Structure 1
């Protein structure tokens, strides 16, 4: 190869590595988005907080496919996209929602700080658990989706006793070995799951635009989709066992 060819190859390699590193920057932006969400939560602008967390969800959904397409693991071996993703996911899925749940006044005053601490501690343990995913790409136990849990608590506005009990149950379910579907990676009924997630996203945006003051059919639809995501695998397995 002549010198011009070597320079072109080196230039392409540098460009590819720069593009690969930009994916890490994109992922890390989720932490900045989490800070924006937390600032809104401190101001008790709850709908705005969830809007920022929704943006973080979009980033989380896009960075993985982009990273695989740009071969980030090979081109940037010194930077762990997996670790970075877990760090960002912890603050967006667990820490900021835990603050919102604790500070919103939805829980019993004496229980709120204890339950908030329980959320972040068990969430941290869950993210460190190498068994959090099953071989068939399900989550094992309640998958620390505290952003979704917080959304439903704000939506339903249960009495403080009931909300506190619900949070305590979810903390325990973090370590209960039942399966929860991954909306994208679980192939069984993926078309149905993704369709329902799309409907959920539209209804969630409507809910935020109306600051959680939505009609009962919207609330029922959101709850039904949430129940499907959490419980559908367990129901399918129970039905399979009954047939056997």
Structure 2
């Protein structure tokens, strides 16, 4: 190999490594977006907060495929994309939503600080649990999707007592071994699941545009999709057991 060829090879290698590292930067941008979402929450601009959290959700959906395509694990072995992803997921899925749930007046005043602390403590433990995913890519227990919980609490505007009860129940369900489908990675009914998630995204955007003042059919559709995600695996297993 000539010196020129060696130079070209080294330059190409650096370019590939730089592209791989850019995926880590892309993932880390989610943390910056979480800060912006928190600032909106402090101002009680709730729809804007959810819009930023939705942006972070898009990043979370794209960074994995990008990392696999660019072989980030091999090209950047000194940087853990898995740890980075968990750090960003914690602030976007747990910490910022916990603040919104606690500070928005949706919960009983005396219970709100305790429940908020319960959300972040159990969320941290959940992300540290190596058993959080089943072999068939389901989540084990309530998967700390507190951004979604916050969204539905703002949408439904239940009584503070009922909202507090729901949050307390979900905190407990974090450690109950039932399965919740991963919208992308679970193969069973993937086409139906992805279609419903796409519909959910459209309805969620409409909801934020109208600052949660949407017609009843929109709210009902959003709730039905949530029930499907949470309960479909349990229903399928129950039907299989009954048929056996």
Report the TM-score range of the alignment, normalised by the length of the smaller protein: over 0.9
Match of 2:234 in 1: 234
Q: Structure 1 CA distance, aligned partners of 2:176 and 2:47?
A: 31
How far does residue 132 in structure 1 lie from its aligned partner after superposition? 0.0
Match of 1:4 in 2: 4
Match of 1:141 in 2: 141
TM-score between both structures, scaled by the size of structure 2: 1.00
Q: Mapping of 1:104-143 within 5 angstroms?
A: 104-143=104-143
Q: Structure 2 CA distance, aligned partners of 1:83 and 1:70?
A: 18
How far does residue 197 in structure 1 lie from its aligned partner after superposition? 0.2
List alignment gaps of at least 5 residues for structure 1: none
Match of 2:150 in 1: 150
Q: Mapping of 1:1-244 within 5 angstroms?
A: 1-244=1-244
SS of 2:77 mapped into structure 1: coil
| Cα RMSD for the two superposed structures | 0.3
Q: Structure 1 CA distance, aligned partners of 2:31 and 2:49?
A: 14
How far does residue 229 in structure 1 lie from its aligned partner after superposition? 0.2
How far does residue 44 in structure 1 lie from its aligned partner after superposition? 0.2
Q: Deviations 1:38-63 (Å, cap 9, x if unpaired)?
A: 00000000000000000000000000
**Equivalent residue pairs, number:** 244
How far does residue 105 in structure 1 lie from its aligned partner after superposition? 0.3
List alignment gaps of at least 5 residues for structure 2: none
How far does residue 219 in structure 1 lie from its aligned partner after superposition? 0.3
How far does residue 106 in structure 1 lie from its aligned partner after superposition? 0.4
Q: Structure 1 CA distance, aligned partners of 2:112 and 2:11?
A: 55
How far does residue 74 in structure 1 lie from its aligned partner after superposition? 0.3
How far does residue 92 in structure 1 lie from its aligned partner after superposition? 0.1
How far does residue 22 in structure 1 lie from its aligned partner after superposition? 0.3
Q: Deviations 1:145-167 (Å, cap 9, x if unpaired)?
A: 00000000000000000000000
Q: Structure 1 CA distance, aligned partners of 2:105 and 2:183?
A: 31
